[in-house]
Amino acid sequence: MIPEEITGEELDAEAREELRTLPKDLAALVARHLVAAGQLIEDDPDLAYRHAKTARRLASRVGVVREACGLAAYHAGAWSEALSELRAARRLPGREELYLPILADCERGLGRPERALDITRSKESGALPKEERIELHIVESGARRDLGQFAAAVVALQIPELKDRRLRPWSARLFYAYADALVAAGREEEAKDWFLRSAAADREEETDAAERYAELDGLEIIDTVDEETPEESSEPESPLTLSFQPPPDTTPAPDPEDPEPEGESD
């Protein structure tokens, strides 16, 4: 059931334009399912996928619907369905380079890291925007780890953006992936520094970088939630905090003049 407050007008103008190929009432219904899928995709990916599949059943020839269904399938862990839907969307004009990192990650999810690497090396990958290219490097590193190529997984992430002194939208994820690759390669001391950098960059708390650092350093995570009810609590606080406060100078940014991160080599 679609929440009543969703009208379908929440879709962006480009998506609504694509839906105009449908009868008016059908377009409105499909739009509402797409909006519901988008709103639920992080918190309830399975329900989001059900909404997207309903939209696909109603309008399978509309590109934005196939894209939405593919993305919802990806978030729900339905790798094969995500591949099918996003490949169908990419056959449409103007979408040839969309979602390469997701396609590669789906191949990993299906246990086919070699195919994931083929995507990362494809001609289309060179035309991606910077943020998507970085995501593709992260997937490549994961595929190398799947194949037991741990040193190569580290090297795959030694890209110029790793040394950027300014925080970027991708910094937390890139630093985290690099730390993870270092752990897999048995270089845990170096990994601790990069987990700290990731935690410092992760303002939206999308990763567990601080917890990973604490685990490597033998520190405890303590639960600070008491028995206060919401009415009794004067201000909200995070349910988990670290039992340490790292000094500010423990997370220096990489020096862009250095040829590579300290302690690294190809």
Annotate 105-158 with DSSP letters as a single string: HHHHHTT-HHHHHHHHTSGGGGGS-HHHHHHHHHHHHHHHHHTT-HHHHHHTT-
Report residue 115 CA to chain centroid gap: 19
Q: pTM value?
A: 0.78
Return the C-alpha torsion angle 147, 151, 156, 161, nearest 10.
Answer: 150
Residue 201 lies in a domain: no
Q: Which of helix, strand or coil describes residue 224?
A: coil
Specify the pLDDT at position 96: 59
Task: Find the range with the poorest average confidence among 45-59, 76-90, 201-215, 249-263.
Answer: 249-263
**Average model confidence (pLDDT) for the chain?**
85
Highest mean pLDDT, choosing among 30-39, 119-128, 163-172, 201-210: 30-39
Instruction: Compute CA distances 263 → 103, 159, 189, 198, 257, whole Å.
Output: 33, 15, 10, 18, 15
Considering just the CA atoms, what is the radius of gyration of the chain in Å? 22
State the total domains in the chain.
Answer: 1
Return the structure tokens found at 253.
């940014």
Q: Which domain holds residue 80?
A: 1-96
What's 2's DSSP letter? Answer: -
Residue 219 lies in a domain: no
Specify the pLDDT at position 126: 86
pLDDT at 75 over 90: yes
* Residue 80 near residue 110 (C-beta atoms within 8 A): yes
pLDDT at 6 over 90: yes
Residue 16 lies in a domain: yes
The number of residues making up the chain comes to 266
Helix axes 130-146, 171-184, angle to 10 degrees: 20
Residue 88 lies in a domain: yes
CATH number, domain containing residue 28: 1.25.40
Q: Indicate the pLDDT class of residue 97, thresholds 50, 70 and 90.
A: low
Return the structure tokens found at 237.
């606080």
Specify the pLDDT at position 91: 83
Per-residue model confidence as pLDDT tens digits over 98-132: 789 999 999 999 999 999 999 999 998 988 999 99
Specify the pLDDT at position 120: 95
Highest mean pLDDT, choosing among 85-94, 98-107, 254-263: 98-107
* Residue 172 near residue 162 (C-beta atoms within 8 A): no
Residue 188 lies in a domain: no
Specify the pLDDT at position 89: 87
Residue 50 lies in a domain: yes
Residue 124 lies in a domain: no
- Greatest CA separation for the chain: 61
Q: What is the distance between the alpha carbons of residues 140 and 84, in angstroms, rounded to a whole number?
A: 21
Report residue 91 CA to chain centroid gap: 23
